[in-house]
Structures are given as structure tokens and as C-alpha cells.
């Protein structure tokens, strides 16, 4: 039996077991995927014994993504740019790492819109861990310019310096005025998430052809997406990214490239709603 898991500290909140459990069942695979709480002090030993403990790999979540990156082999250029790993797999007894967050974002965007990055301009709100993954994937997909608007300007500047001339740091307060030049607006900040302040932004200047994506998925329809719909823009919610980022790991561990289905999406939506009733 093939065994995989997701590690983090804490780990209770992870919905990855629902996603991988659904695919294991759908494809009748004799495998398992469980949550595994790993303290930061236990991470190195966990990785060193992954193979001998019978695992074929794992997903990695907060706070381990950067530490795992520093401890295993990474050959994928996008993951090297991101500097953090969310998927570990074993080949010839060695541990390899990938970051599939940006892939998940882009793959979802392309699956529900006719997005083509060539010659396009994107505005990214936020400069945290999720922004890094998305910026790396968009840059690699050929976007012309990626403008990063972050509350802490220095963090946007740091990203722009690291990612090179197509990525530019902008002042958060200049965002509304900048929207007229934007083909894709992405919120990667935690604004709009349940328990956080809303993202208050006038979309008046945003062209009607522009896409608006929010990677926050609780609530599924954020205020940003509600406004964008009213403004006539195509909208992309954050749940699709969560589902699509899981695809490469499942394929590495269990040998089948799984499909993101409406039924899988419904399972996670039901789980999000269950939490609110409890
Ligand atoms: P992070 O590294 O902690 O970054 C948080 C970002 O939000 C920073 O840019 C921060 O700005 C900004 N921010 C937080 N509070 C703010 C406020 N009050 N006003 C303005 N900006 C604020 O977090 P992350 O890992 O990137 O995650 C960010 C969001 O993405 C979370 O809601 C997370 O749930 C979601 N996410 C979704 C997926 C998915 O699969 N859909 C995957 C990963 C993350 P400063 O730099 O100024 O602090």
C-alpha cells in the first residue's frame, strides 16, 4: 500500500486528506493519505525517516515550507525561485521537493477562463508566501508585467528585486488608480478572509475584460469577488487553487494524474460549511 501524508504544526485545519482521499477512492487505489503533526524540532528526523517509515511522499504546510526547501533536493526552477516546498516525493531513495501553489493558481485560472499570459499585465495584492508562488508561476508563464501592491512596501520591493524587471513594487495606496492598466487582479493577502478586515477597493477603473482572482476561499465569495461580478469582470475564487495544487503530488505518489471534479469541489464546500455550523 502506498502511503502519503501532510505535515504541519498545527495540522488539524488541513483539507488535503479530503482531496487525496477522494481521488484514492475514485481511482480505486490501495493507498492512504493522513494528517501528521510534526513539530519544527522533529522536522529533520521526519524527513530522514520518511522512506523507512513507508511513505512515498508528503505535502508540507506552515511552518515547514522553507525549512524543507533547505533540506532536500530541488531541481524545478520555479520552486527554486519560490524558495519553499509544499510537495515531497522520493526517487531512487532520495527526497525531492516541488512547490505547486503557483501551478495550482494558474491551472485553475486557465481551467475556468481563457487566460493567456502573453503581453498581459497583472496586479498582485500581497507579498507573503502565497504571493511568491503565484508571482513565480505567472512570470514563468510569460506575463509582461507583474505589479506588487503590499501594505508593507519593503516586502514588495524585496520580491521585485528577487524576481527581476518584470516584477515591480508599487505603493498600496496607488492600486485603485493603477487598475486601468490591469488584465488580471489577484488578491493574495489575507484581507477578506473570515476574521480579517475586508479588502476595500473601488474597481471603477478596472477594464471589463479583466479577470479578478481571490485566493482566499473562506468565504468562497469574498467582497472583492462580489464587487468584481457586479463590475462585469470574470471572477476566480480560491478553492480551485487549493484543489489544483494537489494534482502533481497525487500523480507523483500514486501514478495517476487526477481530475479536479465538481464533486470534489462540493466535498470541500460542504466541509467549509460544516465548520460554520459547529
Ligand atoms: P502571509 O505569508 O502571512 O502573507 C500575508 C499577506 O497579507 C502579506 O502580504 C500581508 O501584508 C497581507 N496582509 C495581512 N493583513 C493585512 C491587512 N490588514 N492589510 C493589508 N495587508 C494585509 O500569508 P500567505 O501564506 O501568503 O497567505 C495569504 C492568504 O492566502 C491567506 O488568506 C491564505 O489562507 C490564502 N491562501 C490560499 C491558498 C489557496 O490554495 N487558495 C494557498 C495559500 C494561501 P504585510 O506584508 O504588510 O504584512
Sole residue written with cell 493603477:
178
Q: 128 CA to middle of ligand 1, Å?
A: 6
Length reported for the chain: 278
Of residues 35, 39, 65, 252, which has the active-site annotation? 65
**CA nearest neighbour of 200 among 219, 180, 224, 218:** 224
**Radius of gyration, CA atoms only, the chain:** 19
Measured by CA distance, the residue closest to atom 17 of ligand 1 is 191
Q: Which pLDDT score, from 0 to 100, does residue 277 have?
A: 66
Examine the residue annotation and report whether 139 is marked as an active-site residue of this protein.
no
C-alpha span between 80 and 52 (Å, rounded): 27
The pLDDT assigned to 278 comes to 56
Q: Of all protein residues, whose CA lies closest to atom 38 belonging to ligand 1?
A: 215
Q: Are 163 and 139 in contact (CB under 8 A)?
A: yes
SS3 119: coil
CB 59 within 8 A of CB 87: yes
C-alpha–C-alpha distance, residues 67 and 86, integer Å:
11
For residue 177, CA distances in Å to 124, 128, 159, 173, 269 come to 14, 23, 22, 9, 35
Q: Is 8 helix (H, G, I), strand (E, B) or coil?
A: strand
Phi and psi at residue 91, to the nearest 5°? -135, 130
Using a 10 angstrom Cβ sphere, with 0-12 exposed, 13-18 middle and 19 or more buried, the burial of residue 267 is middle
Walk along the chain (278 residues) and give the pLDDT tens digit of each residue. Answer: 999 999 999 999 999 999 999 999 999 999 999 999 999 999 999 999 999 999 999 999 999 999 999 999 999 999 999 999 999 999 999 999 999 999 999 999 999 999 999 999 999 999 999 999 999 999 999 999 999 999 999 999 999 999 999 999 999 999 999 999 999 999 999 999 999 999 999 999 999 999 999 999 999 999 999 999 999 999 999 999 999 999 999 999 999 999 999 999 999 999 999 877 65
Q: Write phi, then psi, for 167 (nearest 5 degrees).
A: -110, 125
- Ligand 1 center to residue 187 CA distance, Å? 9
Distance CA 182, CA 270 (A): 34
Is residue 6 a contact partner of residue 64, using CB atoms and an 8 Å limit? no
Please give the full DSSP string across 131-143, using - where no structure is assigned. HHHHHHHHHHTTB
Q: Which atom of ligand 1 is nearest to the CA of 172?
A: 20
Q: Out of 173, 189, 218, give the residue to mutate to test ligand 1, the one with the largest number of ligand atoms within 8 Å of its CB.
A: 189
pLDDT at 120: 97
Instruction: List pocket residues of ligand 1, CB cut-off 6 Å.
Output: 101, 126-131, 150-152, 155, 188-191, 193, 197, 215-217, 238, 241-242, 245
Q: What is the pLDDT of residue 275?
A: 73
Maximum Cα–Cα distance across the chain: 57
* Bridge partners, 124 (sequence order): 148, 186
| Gap from CA of 63 to ligand 1 centroid (Å) | 14
Cell digits of residue 216:
482566499
Name the nearest CA neighbour of 105 among 229, 256, 249, 243: 243
State in Å: Cα 189 to ligand 1 middle: 3
Considering only CA atoms, which of 46, 47, 51, 61 is closest in space to residue 7? 61
Question: Ligand 1: which residue has its CA nearest to atom 43?
Answer: 130
Helix (H, G, I), strand (E, B) or coil at 7: strand
Is residue 145 a contact partner of residue 138, using CB atoms and an 8 Å limit?
A: no
Helices (H), 29-173: 43-48, 65-69, 77-82, 101-112, 129-140, 153-163
Query: What confidence score (pLDDT) does residue 98 get?
Result: 98
Amino acid at each position: 500500500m502506498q502511503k502519503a501524508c501532510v505535515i504541519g504544526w498545527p495540522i488539524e485545519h488541513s483539507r488535503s486528506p479530503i482531496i487525496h482521499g477522494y481521488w484514492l477512492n475514485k481511482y480505486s487505489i490501495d493507498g492512504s493519505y493522513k494528517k501528521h503533526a510534526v513539530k519544527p524540532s522533529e522536522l529533520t528526523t521526519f524527513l530522514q525517516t520518511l522512506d523507512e517509515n513507508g511513505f512515498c511522499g508528503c505535502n508540507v504546510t506552515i511552518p515547514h515550507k522553507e525549512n524543507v526547501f533547505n533540506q532536500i533536493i530541488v531541481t524545478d526552477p520555479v520552486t527554486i525561485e519560490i524558495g519553499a516546498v509544499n510537495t515531497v516525493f522520493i526517487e531512487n531513495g532520495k527526497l525531492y521537493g516541488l512547490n505547486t501553489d503557483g501551478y495550482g493558481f494558474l491551472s485553475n485560472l486557465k481551467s475556468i477562463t481563457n487566460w493567456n499570459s502573453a503581453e498581459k499585465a497583472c496586479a498582485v495584492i500581497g507579498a507573503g508566501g502565497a504571493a511568491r508562488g503565484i508571482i513565480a508561476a505567472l512570470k514563468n508563464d510569460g506575463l509582461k508585467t507583474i505589479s506588487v501592491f503590499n501594505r508593507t512596501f519593503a516586502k514588495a520591493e524585496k520580491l521585485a528585486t528577487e524576481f527581476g524587471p518584470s516584477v515591480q513594487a508599487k505603493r498600496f495606496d496607488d492600486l485603485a488608480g493603477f487598475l486601468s492598466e490591469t488584465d488580471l487582479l489577484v488578491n493574495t493577502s489575507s484581507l477578506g478572509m473570515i476574521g480579517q478586515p475586508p479588502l476595500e477597493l473601488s474597481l471603477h477603473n478596472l477594464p471589463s475584460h479583466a479577470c479578478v482572482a481571490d485566493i482566499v476561499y473562506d468565504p468562497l465569495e469574498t467582497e472583492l469577488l462580489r464587487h468584481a461580478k457586479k463590475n462585469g469582470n470574470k471572477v476566480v475564487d480560491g478553492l480551485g487553487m487549493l484543489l489544483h495544487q494537489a494534482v502533481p503530488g497525487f500523480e507523483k505518489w500514486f501514478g495517476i494524474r487526477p481530475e479536479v471534479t465538481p464533486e470534489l469541489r462540493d466535498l470541500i464546500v460542504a466541509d467549509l460549511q460544516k465548520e460554520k455550523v459547529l
